Every structure is written in structure tokens, then in C-alpha cells.
């Protein structure tokens, strides 16, 4: 069983590494990663469900199906990333990890101090983001509010939660189905910079919109 899985996994990974898109161009790295992951999962499921005499055949089928499914998921996120980079302003950060897009909005531009009421030019970016999400209905969204460590932890968690909800409400107003969105108030627990400097605290005050395939 172990030998069968290792053999097919290696073959599946080799297959996805040289896969090309329908246009004849090589697939981008995120799509290849998705295809490779799908191939591995498919091989495991196919081999596990088969009788001993059919494991080699069923694991191979599972690897091929899984590679196709994973590749499609990666491709959706890649296309959405490209569309967002063309349409969002320079103050918005976008990171594609291969299985998710992380769109980072600075809270200092979105909100006034100690307020959860949206303001500023980035509201237009939220409208643009909502439009993009409607174009890719197979994705789901998590809105995470973050704060620096100024004030109590409880206050920061509550403020970050209310800010995440305000961003989510703006996305819903732009037409995104509420059931696709989940909000989280992370407070000061997930800093990306030092809270010892004003510049670091400014980076830590942010809202992250995490987009994943369903």
C-alpha cells in the first residue's frame, strides 16, 4: 500500500509540474501547487477506497481527478488576484499564498481614531472588492480586524471586531451574499510589526480580507 501511494504520488507530482493550460501556455505556480495538492489527496482517497487488487488503478484515477480539481481552485484565485491588482489603489496590500488571497486595508485610512465608522477613499476599494467577489462566486471571505496594543486587550478586541463588521457590511451593500462572509476581531493578538514604535503600531492597525475557494 505504501509503495503504491509513493509511486503514484511521485508520478502525479511530475504530471502536474509539466501541465499546460488550454491555451498551450504552462500553468502558473499557484495553479501547479493546487494541482499537486489535489493529486496527492486524490491518490490517497483512491487507494484507500479500492480493494487490494485495484489500488494501483484507483489511486491513479484519484490522482488525475484531484489534480484537475486543485488546479482549477488555484486558477480561480490567480485570476481574482490579477483583477484586484488592476483595480485596487496602491494603499491596499495583496498576497497570494496559493490557497488564499489576503487583501490588507490600513485601518488608519478606513477609520478615524477609536471609531468603527468607515471613512476615506478606501471605501471605493471595498466597492471594487465586492464587485470582484461577485465575479468569483465560488470563493468565501473572512474579514479580520486587527489592532495595536494601545489600550486594554478587551477594548482592542471589541474595536477590531466592530471594524471587521463595518467592512463586511460594506461588502454586503456591494452585493456580496452575507452567508459568504465571516468576521473576526483579532484585537492585538496578531501583530505584523513591533508595537514599540508608531510606525509598527500603524502597520498593526489593519483589516485583512482573506479570500479562499469553497
Alpha helices in 136-187 (DSSP H): 153-173
Report the distance separating Cα 10 and Cα 114, nearest Å.
54
pLDDT score recorded for residue 33 = 55
Average pLDDT over residues 186-214: 95
Q: For residues 23 and 178, which has the higher predicted lDDT (pLDDT)?
A: 178
pLDDT score recorded for residue 95 = 96
Kindly report, residue by residue over 145-157, the tens digit of the pLDDT.
999 999 999 999 9
pLDDT score recorded for residue 180 = 96
CA angle centred on 160, ends 115 and 208, rounded to 5°: 115
Contact 45, 62 (CB under 8 A): yes
pLDDT score recorded for residue 210 = 97
pLDDT score recorded for residue 141 = 97
What are the residue ranges spanned by the domains of the chain? 31-71, 72-213
Average pLDDT over residues 125-131: 93
pLDDT score recorded for residue 112 = 85
Kindly report, residue by residue over 63-109, the tens digit of the pLDDT.
444 444 444 556 889 999 999 999 888 788 999 999 999 999 998 88
pLDDT score recorded for residue 90 = 77
Report the distance separating Cα 184 and Cα 162, nearest Å.
9
Q: What backbone torsions phi and psi does residue 136 show, to the nearest 5 degrees?
A: -125, 70
Q: Is residue 16 over pLDDT 90?
A: no
pLDDT score recorded for residue 51 = 52
pLDDT score recorded for residue 197 = 96
Handedness of CA 97, 101, 102, 104 (dihedral sign): positive
Average pLDDT over residues 193-198: 96
Fold exhibited by the domain 72-213: 60s Ribosomal Protein L30; Chain: A; (3.30.1330)
Report the distance separating Cα 27 and Cα 68, nearest Å.
12
Amino acid at each position: 500500500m505504501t509503495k503504491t501511494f509513493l509511486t503514484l504520488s511521485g508520478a502525479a507530482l511530475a504530471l502536474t509540474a509539466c501541465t499546460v493550460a488550454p491555451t498551450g501556455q504552462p500553468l502558473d505556480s499557484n495553479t501547479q501547487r493546487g494541482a499537486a495538492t489535489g493529486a496527492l489527496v486524490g491518490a490517497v482517497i483512491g487507494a484507500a477506497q479500492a480493494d487490494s487488487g485495484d489500488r494501483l488503478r484507483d489511486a491513479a484515477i484519484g490522482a488525475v481527478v484531484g489534480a484537475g480539481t486543485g488546479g482549477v481552485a488555484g486558477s480561480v484565485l490567480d485570476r481574482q488576484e490579477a483583477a484586484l491588482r488592476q483595480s485596487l489603489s496602491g494603499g491596499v496590500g495583496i498576497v497570494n499564498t496559493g490557497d488564499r488571497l489576503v487583501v490588507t486595508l490600513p485601518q488608519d485610512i478606513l477609520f478615524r481614531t477609536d471609531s468603527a465608522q468607515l471613512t476615506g477613499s478606501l471605501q471605493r476599494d471595498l466597492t471594487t472588492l465586492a464587485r470582484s467577489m461577485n465575479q468569483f462566486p465560488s470563493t468565501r471571505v473572512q474579514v479580520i480586524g486587527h489592532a495595536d496594543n494601545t489600550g486594554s486587550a478587551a477594548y482592542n478586541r471589541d474595536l477590531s471586531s466592530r471594524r471587521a463588521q463595518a467592512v463586511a457590511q460594506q461588502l454586503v451593500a456591494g452585493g456580496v451574499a452575507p452567508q459568504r462572509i465571516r468576521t473576526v476581531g483579532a484585537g492585538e493578538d496578531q501583530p505584523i510589526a513591533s508595537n514599540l514604535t508608531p510606525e509598527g503600531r500603524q502597520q498593526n492597525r489593519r483589516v485583512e480580507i482573506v479570500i479562499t475557494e469553497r
